[in-house]
Amino acid sequence: MAYKEIARNKAFGGHVVKYEHDSTELSCSMKFNVFLPKESEQGSVAAIYFLSGLTCTEDNFIQKSGALAEAAKHGIALIAPDTSPRGVSIQGDDDSWDFGTGAGFYLDATDPKWAKNYRMYSYVTKELPALVNKQLPIDGSRVSIMGHSMGGHGALTIYLKNSSAYKTVSAFSPIANPVNCPWGEKAFSNYLGSNQDEWKQYDTVELLKKAGDLKIDALVDVGTSDNFLERELKIDTLKETVASLGRAQDWTIRYQDGYDHSYFFISSFIADHIQHHVKYLKQ
């Protein structure tokens, strides 16, 4: 569980620190970034986990989102893990941009070819928090989770499956119904095999149908000019499911006119999302 610091940069009175450690869940070396606000020098602080999308690493969100200023304003830490195991040398894991390296989909693979290494669900929900809470000034009782695209899928499904571990959740352009879109079908059929009941445990729409009386306050933003909106993200399906289940009061789903899938979009609304989390992290 030991980690080493490999980079440190001062930012907004705090520091962005990159760490590296040997992951037991993923059987490889992993890196993650943490923004520690100046308040962390005096004691433990609340934190938001951010899960990134396809092809991203631990750096994209920290460098491009504009989140540091807002997090610093509220004295909140940001934790940004990588999106998949790295350097595991499985045949086929570097063949395409939307599967394998950079595309772990925040699940635990069951297909024998992928099951040893592709365990991003357990890494994000178990191993990384245990490491962070033990060795960094993070208050593990005050954390929340958000993400973008594949990471939005990860944030929403992880929250729905572990709601007691997180104060709240938000997502930018999430893949909301992966069992019914090409990205999800490709990933799930390879990582999980042909049993679609297995797929549903990592699908926001399907998990919502079984959520019972779980109290949720979720914020979702998507751009109307997102090239992936209809084919891959299925936000309309999410909105329809929320309405059919009588959960409209639990979900704020916003279609932002003219915005696309990029970090220009994320940086335009990141302050709203951090403020959404702060409502609960500061209670």
pLDDT, tens digit (0-9, with 9 covering 90-100), for 124-170: 999 999 999 999 999 999 999 999 999 999 999 999 999 999 999 99
Is residue 226 part of the annotated active site? The answer reads yes
What is the mean predicted confidence (pLDDT) over 231-255? Answer: 97
- Which stretches of the chain are assigned E, i.e. beta strand? 3-11, 14-23, 28-36, 45-51, 77-81, 138-148, 169-172, 218-223, 251-256
pLDDT, tens digit (0-9, with 9 covering 90-100), for 108-126: 999 999 999 999 999 999 9
Is residue 260 part of the annotated active site? The answer reads no
Token digits for 138?
A: 């993070």
Q: At how many degrees (to 10) do helices 263-281 and 67-74 cross? A: 10
pLDDT, tens digit (0-9, with 9 covering 90-100), for 175-216: 999 999 999 999 999 999 999 999 999 999 999 999 988 999
Architecture of domain 3-282: 3-Layer(aba) Sandwich (3.40)
Q: Residue 13: what pLDDT?
A: 98
Is residue 149 part of the annotated active site? The answer reads yes
**What confidence tier does 2 reach under pLDDT thresholds 50, 70, 90?**
confident
Q: Using the predicted structure, report yes or no on whether residue 1 has a pLDDT greater than 70.
A: no
pLDDT, tens digit (0-9, with 9 covering 90-100), for 11-43: 999 999 999 999 999 999 999 999 999 999 999
Identify the burial level of 143 via C-beta atoms within 10 angstroms of its C-beta, where 0-12 means exposed, 13-18 middle and 19 or more buried: buried
- The share of the chain scoring above pLDDT 70, in percent, equals 100
Total-model pTM: 0.98
Which of 144, 149, 170, 173 is catalytic? The answer is 149
Which of 153, 261, 273, 276 is catalytic? The answer is 261
Mean pLDDT of the chain: 97
Which of 82, 93, 203, 226 is catalytic? The answer is 226
- Single out the residue of 104, 233, 229, 209 nearest to residue 160, CA to CA: 209
